[in-house]
């Protein structure tokens, strides 16, 4: 597995926690009047964190396992905004969510860190496009960055609010 991907995955939980900590408690459920331009799903700060945890466990753990066990599986997308409603992300305990995410990320890293080149090159179809297990890991890194960008975008919008008030 690419050292850059493994390092990115390993470092992400701390980046997520630091970014989330920048939100005042009163703004963790805030949403802007317009979501135009958000680089992730339209989720509040707490919802972003819950989404990352659930996509790790219910998305990538399942996807990695299927690619290793099946011949060229078609990996379905997960409707992130619907999960936020169905799983009541707004009521989540963020400390527990962050702890659960950190454990889930450790599981992900253990699932992929010792794979052979042949295993990394196993084929799958993800979001309608052909990929490999290694490609899927890079998509996970991209997903991390997408949601970190979403959190920064929300912080930027909040900063604009403070200047208006």
Write out pLDDT tens, residues 120-152: 999 999 999 999 999 999 999 999 999 999 999
Tokens standing for 68? 């290793």
Yes or no: say if 48 and 29 are a contact pair by the CB < 8 Å rule. Answer: no
Cα–Cα distance measured from residue 105 to residue 162, given in angstroms and rounded to the nearest whole number: 35
Q: Three-state DSSP class for 126?
A: strand
Give the pLDDT confidence of 24-43 residue by residue, as tens digits: 999 999 999 999 999 999 99
pLDDT given for residue 156 in this prediction: 95
Yes or no: say if 137 and 115 are a contact pair by the CB < 8 Å rule. Answer: no
How many folded domains does the chain comprise? 1
Cα–Cα distance measured from residue 163 to residue 98, given in angstroms and rounded to the nearest whole number: 30
CATH number of the domain encompassing residue 150: 1.20.120.450
**Is pLDDT at 163 greater than 90 in this prediction?**
no
End-to-end CA distance of the chain: give it in Å, rounded.
Answer: 49
Identify the bridge partners of residue 11 per DSSP, sorted by sequence position. Answer: none
Residue bearing the bigger pLDDT, 161 or 154? 154
Tokens standing for 106? 């450790």
Cα–Cα distance measured from residue 15 to residue 102, given in angstroms and rounded to the nearest whole number: 11
Residue 103 lies in domain: 3-164
Place of tokens 């990115």: 8
Q: Classify residue 138 as exposed, middle or buried by CB count within 10 Å of its CB (0-12, 13-18, 19+).
A: middle
Place of tokens 């990394």: 120
Place of tokens 């450790």: 106
| pLDDT band at residue 162 using 50, 70 and 90 as cut-offs | low
Radius of gyration of the chain (CA): 17
């Amino acid at each position: 597995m690419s050292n850059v991907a493994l390092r990115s995955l390993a470092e992400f939980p701390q980046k997520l926690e630091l970014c989330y900590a920048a939100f005042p408690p009163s703004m963790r459920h805030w949403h802007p009047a317009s979501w135009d331009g958000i680089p992730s799903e339209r989720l509040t700060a707490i919802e972003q964190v819950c989404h990352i945890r659930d996509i790790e466990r219910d998305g990538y753990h399942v996807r990695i396992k299927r690619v290793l066990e099946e011949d060229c599986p078609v990996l379905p997308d997960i409707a992130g905004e619907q999960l936020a409603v169905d799983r009541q992300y707004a009521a989540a305990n963020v400390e527990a969510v962050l702890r659960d995410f950190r454990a889930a990320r450790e599981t992900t890293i253990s699932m992929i860190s010792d794979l052979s080149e042949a295993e990394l090159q196993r084929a799958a179809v993800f979001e309608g496009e052909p990929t490999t297990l290694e490609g899927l890991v890079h998509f996970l890194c991209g997903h991390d960055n997408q949601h970190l960008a979403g959190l920064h975008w929300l912080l930027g919008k909040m900063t604009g609010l403070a200047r208006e008030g």
